[in-house]
Amino acid sequence: MKRLLFFLTVATLVSCGRTFEQRTAKYAEVGSVNDNRAAVLDINEGVGRWGYVDGTGRLVIECRYADARSFDDGLAAVQEPEGLWGYIDTAGRAVVAPQFTVAGAFDDGMAWVQSGELWGRIDKTGKTVIPCLYSEIGEPDERGWMRVLRDGKWGVLRQDGEVVVPCAYNLIGEPNAYGLIPVTSDGKHGFLGADGREVLPCFFSYISDFKDGYARTNYGGSMVLRDEPYGGQWGLIDTLGHETIPCRYYYLDTPGEGLAAFRLEQFGNYGYVDVKGNVAISPRFSVARPFSGGVAVVSYNNVNFGLVDRNGGEVSSFRYKRIGRFNDGLAPFNTDLYGMNFQGMEPRCGYIDTEGREVIPAKWDDAAEFSEMRCVDKVKGRLQVHSDYRIPLCLTHTHHQAIFRDPCIVYQNINRTKIILNLINHFLSILKIRSIRSITFHLYTQRSNFFFCILTVFINYQVCKSDICSFGSKLQCNRLTNTTSGTCHNRSLSC
């Protein structure tokens, strides 16, 4: 008897000394330990079954499941041999009966489950939080809202299953800057409010982006192969989704400074209305552009252009063939669109202000609208670029304009001889730069002096032909030859 007790004591001590790895070495697979439980796969006569061991490697839940997941929040998803999934606790007791085709892990007390092809959500007691009715459930946003798809229609739920937006829309977009949520139903567009309630029914064929608090709407127009509809009737809405102008115009432009150009019929004249639909300027223009700086560019005959104020009063003469957009209070004008084709024509381009004064008289062959790269020296009445770019190592569009005395820029402190030498010296380096599409030589000459010629290199990258050939007071005498193809770094050689 004493000998038997001795052997039992030795066996117990040896058993206690075995590690987790030693105890679980007989299993085909061993999962990670969570909640002091690890899933293990035991294969017996070619049939695999899953069970669970504790943190020491001892079997605590017998191997009888077709599949098993790790424990989370005290529960683990297990698959019965018949194929359905349920949940058990750490003692192996069934908490949620097998009924799902897919069962996810619990997180914050809830788990995603699938019944057939439809998804839902349950809590740890097996109570349904979101019924299995949805073919798609999106990730929750910062508000805890999830877009869901049911029977081909989209809606919105909260994480607790509360319906925010019923599944009635073909598309639900992201909230815009004003908190409005764009929705589409049967090809018509509308908006939901920030609380998910419909503030603008899906009635319109098209709704533009908001600008200055208003968006254009169209009803009945065709969107075939177009970004904006053709035909139909146009109106206006505000950021609350209210129709400030019902859809009644053949054309309605985006408001500029509170006024929008409109046209009542296809071949009618243009006038202006305010954002409430009140006529500010009666229809009498063949061209009417948005207001900027208190004036708008208009034309009575689509040939001669001028400026009008908000009451329709003429601010400038109508001798101009083109007036560009106003930036920094100035816009380029052109008095003869065809002069560019004839040598010896008088200069025809300058700049006009919002009071109709020609601040910079017509003395150029071309004039561009202002941008961030070009600013106005209103004291001296001339244009300038940053003086740091005296030597065009990076051949930007601004550098080309400066080199060739482009009418759009009066370059300050520029040594043209030094620039030409720099271009020649760096030509071989330019050829070595990757991602240049092609390099073309152009020979340009001064109008009054054909002996003064400039040879330069144009980088053919994101520059249209008209941009390259529009340098004022120059004639393109001869194009020599295309040389090589390659490619250029966008950051340094984009014209």
Q: pLDDT at residue 133 above 90?
A: yes
User: How would you class 106 by CB atoms within 10 Å of its CB: exposed for 0-12, middle for 13-18, buried for 19 or more?
Assistant: buried
70: nearest Cα among 50, 56, 84: 50
**pLDDT number for residue 467:** 33
270: nearest Cα among 286, 259, 254: 286
Give the model confidence (pLDDT) of 148-172 as tens digits. 999 999 999 999 999 999 999 999 9
Confidence of residue 1 (pLDDT cuts 50, 70, 90): low
Look at 109-113, 177-181, 230-234, 406-410 and tell me which has the smallest mean pLDDT: 406-410
Q: What is the CA radius of gyration of the chain?
A: 38
Confidence of residue 447 (pLDDT cuts 50, 70, 90): very low
**pLDDT number for residue 227:** 83
Look at 5-19, 86-100, 205-219, 254-268 and tell me which has the smallest mean pLDDT: 5-19
Q: Which two tokens stand for residue 130?
A: 């979101």
What phi and psi, each to the nearest 5 degrees, are found at residue 339? Answer: -65, -25
Q: Which residue has the tokens 């043209």?
A: 416
**pLDDT number for residue 285:** 98
How many Å apart are CA 32 and CA 26, to the nearest integer? Answer: 16
CA distances from 119 to 84, 168, 273, 307 (A): 15, 18, 51, 62
User: How would you class 53 by CB atoms within 10 Å of its CB: exposed for 0-12, middle for 13-18, buried for 19 or more?
Assistant: buried
User: How would you class 479 by CB atoms within 10 Å of its CB: exposed for 0-12, middle for 13-18, buried for 19 or more?
Assistant: exposed
Q: pLDDT at residue 121 above 50?
A: yes
Q: pLDDT at residue 57 above 50?
A: yes
Look at 94-98, 243-247, 438-442 and tell me which has the smallest mean pLDDT: 438-442
440: nearest Cα among 457, 425, 423, 454: 457
69: nearest Cα among 91, 96, 46, 88: 88
How many Å apart are CA 377 and CA 397, to the nearest integer? Answer: 20
How many Å apart are CA 289 and CA 394, to the nearest integer? Answer: 37
Q: Which two tokens stand for residue 484?
A: 């090589």
Mapping DSSP onto H, E and C, the string for 255-296 reads CECCEEEEECCCCCCEEEEECCCCEEEEEEECEECCCECCEE
**pLDDT number for residue 33:** 94
**Strand pairing of 85-89 and 94-100?**
antiparallel
Residues of the chain above pLDDT 70, percent? 69
What phi and psi, each to the nearest 5 degrees, are found at residue 94? Answer: -70, 120
**pLDDT number for residue 429:** 53
Q: Which two tokens stand for residue 265?
A: 């019929």
* Mean pLDDT in residue range 119-143: 94
